[in-house]
Amino acid sequence: MVRKYNWKTGCDVEATLSVIGGRWKPVLVCRLIGGRKRFGELCRLAPNATERMIILQLRELEADGVITRHEYPQVPPRVEYEITEFGMSLQPIIESMQAWGSEFKARKLAAESDDENPDVAA
């Protein structure tokens, strides 16, 4: 997939999003920060993503130097992915996203709870 981003004049946030943007890249990076994972394990850790989408996202992350792919010559084929040292520089961003997401989920769950129990809020 060819990304349309002007590396000379583009916004720095846009540069970051060109690498980790999308629904599954941050999830994959988050899972790989915990250690090397096999492809099937990554699929299980992102059950709502299709295998094809995971493959595409992993290829882009590999092309950007965020992860490395280790292929073992055996039957059945075994492939593992690992975050690179450069990819580890994304850890603070991913941790901030986790913290924000946790607060957002709590807020949404509280709002849903209030909607279900209107007498409690009064």
Distance from C-alpha of 114 to C-alpha of 122, rounded to nearest angstrom: 10
Q: pLDDT per position in the chain (122 positions), as tens?
A: 445 666 676 788 888 888 898 899 999 999 999 999 999 999 999 999 999 999 999 999 999 999 999 999 888 889 999 999 999 999 999 999 999 999 999 999 988 887 777 665 45
Tell me if 37 sits within 8 A of 45, measured CB to CB: yes
| pTM of the predicted model over 0.95 | no
Could you identify the residue written with the tokens 């890249």?
Answer: 25
